Amino acid sequence: MNDESLKSRFDDDGFVVVRQFLPQEELQQLQSELDRYIRDVVPNLPSSDAFYHDHNRPETLKQMQHMGNDAFFEEYRRNPRWVQLATQLLGEAAQSKGPEWFNKPPGTEHPTPPHQDNFYFCLRPPSVLTMWLALDDVDAENGCLRYVAGSHKPGIRPHGPTEVLGFSQGISDYSSDDRDAEVAVALQPGDVVVHLGNTVHRADANASPDRNRRAFAMVFEGESCQRDADAYARYEAALEQQHARMGLAGA
Ligand SMILES: O=C(O)CCC(=O)C(=O)O
């Protein structure tokens, strides 16, 4: 796909896949830095920065955020390959606040509720995207992302609280029509799927017996974005309530 058709597909659908976005060598380096971070840094993080299904079982680590305190990941958000694609797709200069990591460890019941990222970010205009890089083979069995194509166009839908750590709010009127319109995106390690902040997406739980479903993601904000301070304060208050209900420290 050339640059123009990539952007026009992204503008129409609200998401686009770039196969083999990260060359093998860069993928290996990223994976080994993640292994180091999980081994050396995560055990000392507050529980609001590293989420587990079961805190007593390290293999159930399912999400990491605020990774910018680490020198490698602080620098990685400026990686030219990522910045260039984000800038091309948004059509303006863009910056990332820092990486995140997601897993659905096998044997855990952990669906991702349908949501729009910009319900959380509260950015106007919604010139913000997420680049989600597969670290494992990702497919329908182990909980790939599912998008509703074109769903970024009507704007933000109603959301309500969930009990899913890391996704505190989900779309409250998600319908069978939405489900019928879903596109399941299977990826191989090094492939990236990029979605707009207003694009509706979700994922099933990992139903495979033994495969992880790991991904490394970065959110990029276009330079035209401003945060709606009132909406963001409401979101943060709801998030704090969820963390308090779930007994998280440092929330
Ligand atoms: O990894 C997942 O299941 C969800 C990721 C997601 O919703 C996002 O990065 O916007």
Tally of CA atoms within 13 A in the half-sphere of 19 that contains its CB: 5
From the CA of 112, how far away is ligand 1's center (Å)? Answer: 7
Mean pLDDT score of the chain = 94
The pLDDT of 139-146, averaged and rounded, is 98
pLDDT greater than 80 at residue 247: no
Write out pLDDT tens, residues 65-94: 999 999 999 999 999 999 999 999 999 999
For ligand 1, pick from 130, 142, 214 the residue to mutate: most ligand atoms within 8 Å of CB: 130
The pLDDT of 18-33, averaged and rounded, is 98
Task: Give nearest CA residue, ligand 1 atom 5.
Answer: 102
Q: Which atom of ligand 1 is nearest to the CA of 203?
A: 3
Angle between the 80-90 and 3-13 helix axes, to the nearest 10 degrees? 60
106 neighbors 209 (Cβ within 8 angstroms): yes
Separation of alpha carbons 213 and 98, rounded Å: 21
Write out pLDDT tens, residues 56-67: 888 899 999 999
pLDDT of residue 248: 67
Q: Pocket around ligand 1: residues whose beta carbon is below 6 Å from it?
A: 102, 112, 117, 130, 132, 201, 203, 215, 217
For ligand 1, pick from 53, 103, 112 the residue to mutate: most ligand atoms within 8 Å of CB: 112
Residues with Cβ within 8 Å of residue 167, at least 6 apart in sequence: 112, 113, 115
pLDDT > 70: what percent of the chain?
98
Give Cα separations from 47 to 102, 108, 195 (angstroms): 15, 19, 28
Separation of alpha carbons 226 and 40, rounded Å: 36
pLDDT of residue 109: 87
pLDDT of residue 250: 45
Spell out the domain ranges in the chain. Answer: 3-245
Confidence of residue 120 (pLDDT cuts 50, 70, 90): very high
Take residue 163 and report the two structure tokens written for it.
Answer: 């009990």
pTM metric for this prediction: 0.94
Q: Which atom of ligand 1 is nearest to the CA of 117?
A: 10
Write out pLDDT tens, residues 41-52: 999 998 888 999
From the CA of 65, how far away is ligand 1's center (Å)? Answer: 12
Task: Give nearest CA residue, ligand 1 atom 1.
Answer: 102
Higher model confidence: residue 248 or residue 12? 12
The SS3 call for residue 202 is: strand
Q: Which atom of ligand 1 is nearest to the CA of 132?
A: 9
Extract the runs of DSSP E, i.e. beta strands, from 91-240: 94-102, 112-115, 123-124, 128-134, 145-148, 159-164, 167-171, 182-184, 192-196, 201-203, 215-222, 226-227
Confidence of residue 251 (pLDDT cuts 50, 70, 90): very low
- Which of 3.40.190.10, 1.10.260.40, 3.30.70.20, 2.60.120.620 would CATH assign to domain 3-245? 2.60.120.620
Write out pLDDT tens, residues 166-209: 888 899 999 999 999 999 999 999 999 999 999 999 999 999 99
Q: Which atom of ligand 1 is nearest to the CA of 104?
A: 3
pLDDT of residue 155: 94
The pLDDT of 52-57, averaged and rounded, is 88
From the CA of 165, how far away is ligand 1's center (Å)? Answer: 12
pLDDT greater than 60 at residue 14: yes
Residues with Cβ within 8 Å of residue 183, at least 6 apart in sequence: 13, 15, 146, 147, 148, 149
Write out pLDDT tens, residues 217-227: 999 999 999 99
